[in-house]
């Protein structure tokens, strides 16, 4: 059985024994930072520490590995998706963009994604094929 490296091997729940090798270079994330302006406060968050982004009405919440509370951001999710796409972020739902570096496992039957923070996110039917193809490339 292969050793687990952080987001290197992926377990597909419906196949039970197959591991798929992810061939994406996440090292590009390490030096990049997202500047989040919240009224009078400016926060700097590294790309590799962002687990996912979630849109609720006109605010985007940036979920972080180290903090329980998400950062609020007023930029649109579509703009952020375009900016982060080349760094391994993928839209999994109309209102969610996930850092694929933090994905631990997929459950194909339920279209669920388990993150390194042990949170479980559900992908839409239309976006699920993109999620699977990300790991199969």
Whether 56 and 91 have beta carbons less than 8 Å apart is answered as: no
Residues 100, 136, 26, 73, CA torsion sign: negative
pTM score, whole prediction: 0.79
Distance separating alpha carbons of residues 113 and 132, to the nearest angstrom = 11
What DSSP state is assigned to residue 3? P
Q: What is the helix (H) or strand (E) element at residue 43, kind and residue range?
A: strand 41-46
pLDDT score, position 64: 92
pLDDT score, position 23: 60
Q: Which residue has the tokens 């509370």?
A: 69
Residue 58: is its pLDDT beyond 60? yes
- Best CA proximity match to 88, nearest among 24, 4, 42: 24
pLDDT score, position 66: 87
Residue 126: is its pLDDT beyond 90? yes
Q: Rounded to whole angstroms, what are the CA distances from 94 to 11, 26, 55, 81, 87? A: 25, 24, 8, 11, 19
What is the mean pLDDT of the segment spanning 27-38? Answer: 85
What is the mean pLDDT of the segment spanning 2-7? Answer: 40
**Secondary-structure class of domain 9-136 per CATH:** mainly beta
pLDDT band at 133 (very low <50, low <70, confident <90, very high): confident
For the chain, what percent of residues have pLDDT higher than 90? 49
Whether 113 and 106 have beta carbons less than 8 Å apart is answered as: yes
Burial class (CB in 10 A: 0-12, 13-18, 19+), 86: exposed
pLDDT score, position 128: 93
The two structure tokens encoding residue 88: 């391994």
pLDDT band at 49 (very low <50, low <70, confident <90, very high): very high
pLDDT digits (tens, 9 = 90+) for 83-122: 999 999 999 999 999 999 999 999 999 999 999 999 999 9
pLDDT score, position 9: 43
């Amino acid at each position: 059985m292969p050793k687990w490296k952080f987001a290197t091997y992926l377990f597909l729940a419906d196949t039970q024994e197959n591991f798929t090798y992810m061939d994406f270079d996440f090292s590009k994330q390490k030096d990049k930072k997202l500047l989040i302006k919240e009224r009078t406060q400016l926060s700097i968050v590294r790309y590799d520490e962002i687990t996912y982004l979630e849109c609720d009405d006109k605010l985007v919440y940036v979920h972080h590995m180290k903090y329980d509370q998400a950062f609020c951001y007023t930029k649109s999710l579509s703009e952020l998706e375009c900016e982060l796409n080349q760094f391994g972020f993928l839209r999994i739902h109309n209102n969610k963009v996930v850092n694929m570096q933090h994905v631990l496992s997929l459950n194909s039957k339920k279209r669920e994604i388990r993150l390194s923070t042990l949170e479980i996110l559900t992908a839409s039917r239309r976006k699920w094929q993109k999620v699977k193809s990300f790991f199969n490339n």
